[in-house]
Amino acid sequence: MRAMTAGAMGRAVRGFTLVELMVTLVVFGVLLGVAVPNFSTFTASSRVSSAANDLLLNLGYARSEAVKRGSFATLCATANGTACGTNWSQGWMVFLDGNGDGSLDTGEEVLRRTEALSGGATVAASLTTGSASAVQYVTYQSDGTSSITGRLVVCVNSATSGARVVLVSATRPRVTTGTEAAFTSCSNAAAP
């Protein structure tokens, strides 16, 4: 920045030259061009982590309620909160499952419900019973164990990078990254 005189008054006027302004705008544009894609990746990763952690939290909640109440507690996919479904991306619920059949029957209490995922996030499930039958729910018994095992894979916009996998075991579930779970795409992410 240079000082310029303001004519006869002799006062100095400070300002930016056109070249200085253009250089500043170019630098700002380059920084913005680098930051925006990284911010999109960050928000997608945050969305996936949040959904995976919410699934993990609800599995733990179902397990603790089963032990606390001495009954079956089930986590299942649901679109409306009144019946179990197959699309985990539409949301899920935890309920006391009096007969342990994995479906919400009349008189069974819904304890918690999570709404549908947003921002392109999806969940694919691969859950099986001890007899290897495919199911869309996880039921915990009064001792805190489950005969359901498998995984729930959370992705954003079908991108495998940044995917999170909730591994469901007989006792305690855990979250891992998609690279550790060894799958090739989010469209078939739940396939073992």
- The domains of the chain are located at 44-188
CA-to-CA separations, 19 to 26, 49, 155, 163, in angstroms, rounded = 11, 45, 46, 46
Confidence of residue 181 (pLDDT cuts 50, 70, 90): low
C-alpha to C-alpha distance for 50 and 156, rounded to whole angstroms: 12
DSSP label at residue 135: E
Write the pLDDT tens digit of every residue in 50-108.
888 999 999 999 999 999 999 999 999 999 989 999 999 899 999 999 998 989 999 99
CATH number, span 44-188: 3.55.40.10
pTM for this model (two decimals):
0.76
- Average of pLDDT values for 112-133? 83
Give the per-residue pLDDT at 69.
95
Give the per-residue pLDDT at 143.
95
pLDDT averaged over the chain?
82
